[in-house]
Structure 1
Amino acid sequence: MSEKDYTVPALQKGLRILEMFDSNCRALSQVEMAQRLGVSASSIYRIVQTLTSMGYLSKIGTNTYALGTQVVSRGFSYLASREIVEVAAPFITRLRDSTSLSSHVGVCDGAEVLYVFRALALQRVSVNVPVGTRFPLHTTAMGRALLLGTTSAELQTQLQGQRLDGYPKPAPQTMPELIALCEKERAQGWTRHYSDHSTALAVPIRNFTGQVIAAINISGPDPIMNAEGVTETLLSELKQTASDIMRQVGGI
C-alpha cells in the first residue's frame, strides 16, 4: 500500500483552507476557497462548517470567513510555551542541581496545566512528571499556582462546566472549597499539594503586566519535603528562581 493511501482527504482540505489565509488574504468566501482547491463549493461545505464550529474559522459576512480565535490562541500558546521553556530551562536545571529535587515548568491550557519542561531529580527516589503531561488545574500545586493571577469570579468562569470532584483529596472537591483555597494561596504567593506520598511546592511566573504566564515547582518524597525547616529553604530557592526567570522575560 502506498503512502498516499494513508492520507485523509477531508483533513488535507481543511488544513489547506487554513493555509490560504495570510497578511495579504484575511477573508475568503466559500466559493473562493473551493476555487483555490479546484473543487465545488458544496464539496467543502461540511469542512468549512466544522472549522467554524471549532473556532478555527470565523464567519464575518454572508458566506465570508476569516481565521478564527482558535488559530491565534493556539499559535500564541505554543510560542509562549516555547519561549518560557528556553528562558526557564537553565534556571530550573540549576534549581534541580541545588536541591536534588525534581523541578518542572507548566503553562495553562484551558482548564489544565500542561507540563512543558522538567529537570529530573538526581536522587533515586524522585517525582518526575513527563513533558506533555496534563492535569486539571485544581489538582496540582503548579496548576493552582497558575490560578494565582485570577480573581474568584474569573476562576469560576475559567473552570465553568469542569467537574472538580472525583479526584483524590486533598484536591478541592467543590468550587467554594477551591475558591477558599485559592484565596489563601493567593495571599501567601505560593501553593502546596500532597499526592501519592509526595509533596510539591509551586510559584507563578509573571510577565511585565503582572499576568501569570507559567508556573514552576519543586517536588519530592514526603520525608524529604516535610522535614523540619526544609519548606522554608525550598520556598526561598523556588522564589529566587522565579525572580531570575521573570527578569529574563521582563516580568515584575
Structure 2
Amino acid sequence: MTAIETPERDADYRVPALQRGLTILGMFSARERILGMSDMAERLEISTSAVYRIVQTLVDMGYLQRVGRNAFELGTKVISDGFSYLASRDIVEVSMPHLNALRDRTSLSCHLSIREQTDSLYLYRAFAPQRLTVNIPIGTRLPCHSTAMGRMLLTGLDEAELGQLYQHVRLDDYPAPAPRTLPELQQLIAQDRERGWVLHRSDYSTAIATGIHDHQGQVVAAINLSGPDAVMDTSFAQESFLTTLLASRDSISRELGG
C-alpha cells in the first residue's frame, strides 16, 4: 500500500537552518533595509545565539553585510544575483523577436548567450529548419575563448580584468584556433574589441558573432549567425550575413538602452 503524503510527512524533509536563512532574507524590504540580530531572533522565535550562526553564514556568502555591531543589510550577492537574473530575462525577451526575424531573413540558426565567469551560457536559439544547420541547445556552456560569441563577451573586459579572470585557467588543452596562452588571448580579444565582431570556423561550420550593449555601453550579451561552411564560405555571403547581424545587434541594443 502506497503511503499518502501529508503536510506533516513533507515537513520531515525540511532543513530548518535553510528555512530560517531564507526567512531572514525575506525580512528585508524597502521599509526595513537594516535589521538587528535581536529583531531576526524575535521574529523567528529563537534565541540570538541560535540565529548568530545563520547570520554569520549569510554574511560569509555575501547575502548579508554588517552595517553595525549587530545590524545587517542585504549584501551585494543578493543584489547582483537579482539584477543578473532580471537582466538575462530582459535580454531574452527583447532579443527573441529580433533573432527569429534574423533567422527568417538568413535561413541560418541564431543564438544568444551571456558570460558566466569563463563560460558562454546559451540563453536562446532561433533554430533554422535545414538539413545542415548548427543547433546548440539552451543551457549549453562553452568556453568563452574558443567560440565566436564567447570571445565577444570577453571584449567587455579590459586587459587587466581578462588577465585576472584567466590567471588560473589552462588554455593549452584546447585545439586551434583557440588561443593557447594568456598573452595570445589578450591580444586576440583586443583585436575583437576593435573590430566589433568575430568570425570563427570549427567542425565544418562557421559562426559570426557580435556583442549586445546596455545603456552604459557595456557588453552584456552576444548573438551569432551560424551555419555550414558550404553556405557561409564566401566573402560575399559573410559580408551580407555580417551586415544583417550588425543591424539586429543595433536594434536589440537600442531596446536595452544602448
Give your verdict on TM over 0.5.
Answer: yes
State the partner residue of 1:126. 133
* Residue of structure 2 aligned with 1:92, choices 91, 96, 99: 99
**2: CA distance between counterparts of 1:45 and 1:137?**
40
Retained in 2: the 8 A contact 1:97–1:122? no
State the partner residue of 1:152. 159
Alignment of 1:216-235 (within 5 A): 216-235=223-242
Question: Is 1:57 paired with 2:64?
Answer: yes
Question: Is 1:108 paired with 2:120?
Answer: no
Can you give the 5+ residue segments of structure 1 that lack an aligned partner in the other structure?
none
State the partner residue of 2:49. 42
C-alpha displacement of 1:12: 1.4
Which structure has the larger Rg over C-alpha atoms? Answer: 2
C-alpha displacement of 1:74: 0.7
Distance 1:163 1:246, change over 3 A: same
Specify the SS of the correspondent of 1:6.
coil
C-alpha displacement of 1:45: 3.1
C-alpha displacement of 1:160: 4.3
Cα deviation code 1:139-190 (max 9, x no counterpart): 2211111222332123223444444343343222221111011111112110
Retained in 2: the 8 A contact 1:114–1:135? yes
Question: Is 1:75 paired with 2:78?
Answer: no
Cα deviation code 1:185-226 (max 9, x no counterpart): 112110123333322211011123321121111112233332
Identity of aligned residues (%): 52
Specify the SS of the correspondent of 2:12.
helix
Q: Cα RMSD between the aligned structures?
A: 2.0
Cα deviation code 1:81-105 (max 9, x no counterpart): 1111111111100111111211111
Which moves more between the two structures, 204-213 or 162-171?
A: 162-171
Retained in 2: the 8 A contact 1:201–1:218? yes
Which moves more between the two structures, 241-250 or 225-234?
A: 225-234
Can you give the 5+ residue segments of structure 2 that lack an aligned partner in the other structure?
none
**1: CA distance between counterparts of 2:19 and 2:172?**
39
Distance 1:52 1:160, change over 3 A: farther
**TM-score, normalising length: structure 1:** 0.90
**1: CA distance between counterparts of 2:198 and 2:31?**
46
Which moves more between the two structures, 186-195 or 98-107?
A: 186-195
Instruction: Give the aligned length.
Output: 251
**2: CA distance between counterparts of 1:127 and 1:71?**
36
C-alpha displacement of 1:78: 1.0
Which moves more between the two structures, 15-24 or 27-36?
A: 27-36
The letter for the 2-side match of 1:192 is: L
State the partner residue of 2:215. 208
**1: CA distance between counterparts of 2:156 and 2:179?**
18
**2: CA distance between counterparts of 1:41 and 1:222?**
65
Specify the SS of the correspondent of 2:251.
helix
Q: List structure 1 runs of 4+ shifted beyond 6 angstroms.
A: none
* Residue of structure 2 aligned with 1:184, choices 161, 174, 191: 191
**2: CA distance between counterparts of 1:3 and 1:163?**
46
Specify the SS of the correspondent of 2:173.
coil
State the partner residue of 1:20. 27
